[in-house]
């Protein structure tokens, strides 16, 4: 294995990529293998694909891209046979906006040649979504746009338990971050963000496992604390 994969529930795994501590989620079903976000480069993608081959015994069939930032989408270039699901701004980022995505990646220290090699193979999502369901065969995974926050198009992925007694798992993208404060930039909606996090809490519930876009897995109490931090930050702007 190239990366350390945490088992969060039956058929649900997560790893943390060393570059920028990005979360990548994996959900296994009899009919599909779902990846949530996929890192920055072809090299990362190849290592992910190798690991998933060991964990699942078959390749990735579907990828959900939670938002348009480079560290969550460019690795999709390494999965040419997977169905890509993303919001309309993700399509723009991977087509007409790819020069801006490249500049963003280099600004965070990504290696230029590796980024260029990756960008040469990116493609637009097969499915432009804001709310949808992906069937894995033994359960249906919900892909939801809970509202504006880190961006105006953030997607969350809600995975119901496969076995009795297991928690649901919510992949939050960068709506929640654990290894740093939430990243607020020009594309963020700080005023709306706390309400969006409330919707995440409603979708997952108090017993869910919440997977942030960066950092360690957290519980509902952490998500509540981060919502309150966002509320305080919004009043200061």
Q: Which domains does the chain have, with CATH numbers?
A: 5-235 (3.60.15.10)
**pLDDT(212) > 90:** yes
* Residues β-bridged to residue 15: 5, 24
Nearest to 39 by CA among 135, 89, 108: 108
**pLDDT score recorded for residue 61:** 98
Nearest Cα to 22, choosing from 126, 127, 173? 173
- Please count the CA atoms within 13 angstroms of the CA of 223 that sit on its side-chain side: 31
Q: Could you tell me if 51 and 13 are in contact, meaning their C-beta atoms sit under 8 angstroms apart?
A: no
The pLDDT, as a whole number, for residue 68 is 98
Q: Provide CB contacts within 8 A for 99, sequence distance 6+.
A: none
Contact in structure between 37 and 18 (CB atoms under 8 Å): no
> Any idea what DSSP says for residue 177?
-
**Per-residue pLDDT at 142 exceeds 80:** yes
pLDDT grade for 236, boundaries at 50, 70 and 90? confident
User: What's the pTM?
Assistant: 0.98
The residues pairing with 157 across neighbouring beta strands, listed in sequence order, are 143, 171
For 101-139, list the strands marked E by DSSP. 127-128, 131-135
Q: What is the mean pLDDT of residues 66-75?
A: 98
- Provide the pairing of β-strand 140-144 with 131-135: antiparallel
């Amino acid at each position: 294995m190239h990366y350390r994969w945490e088992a969060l529930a039956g058929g649900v795994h997560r790893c943390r990529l060393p570059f920028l501590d990005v979360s990548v989620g994996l959900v296994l079903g009899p009919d599909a293998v779902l990846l949530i976000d996929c890192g920055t480069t072809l090299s990362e993608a190849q290592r992910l694909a190798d690991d998933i081959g060991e964990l699942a015994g078959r390749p990735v069939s579907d990828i959900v891209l939670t938002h348009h930032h480079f560290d969550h989408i460019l690795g999709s270039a390494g999965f040419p046979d997977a169905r890509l699901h993303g919001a309309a701004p993700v399509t723009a980022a991977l087509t007409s906006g790819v020069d801006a995505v490249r500049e963003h990646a280099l600004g965070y220290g990504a290696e230029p040649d590796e980024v260029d090699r990756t960008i040469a193979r990116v493609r637009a999502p097969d499915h432009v979504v804001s709310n949808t369901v992906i069937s894995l065969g033994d359960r249906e995974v919900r892909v939801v746009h809970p509202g504006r926050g880190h961006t105006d198009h953030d997607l969350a992925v809600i995975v119901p338990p496969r076995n009795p007694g297991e928690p649901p798992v919510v992949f939050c993208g960068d709506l929640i971050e654990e290894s740093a404060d939430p990243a607020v930039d020009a594309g963020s909606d700080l005023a709306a963000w706390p309400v969006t996090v409330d919707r995440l809490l409603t979708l997952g519930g108090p017993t869910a496992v919440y997977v942030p876009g960066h950092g360690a897995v957290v519980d509902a109490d952490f998500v509540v604390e981060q919502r309150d931090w966002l509320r305080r930050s919004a009043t200061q702007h």
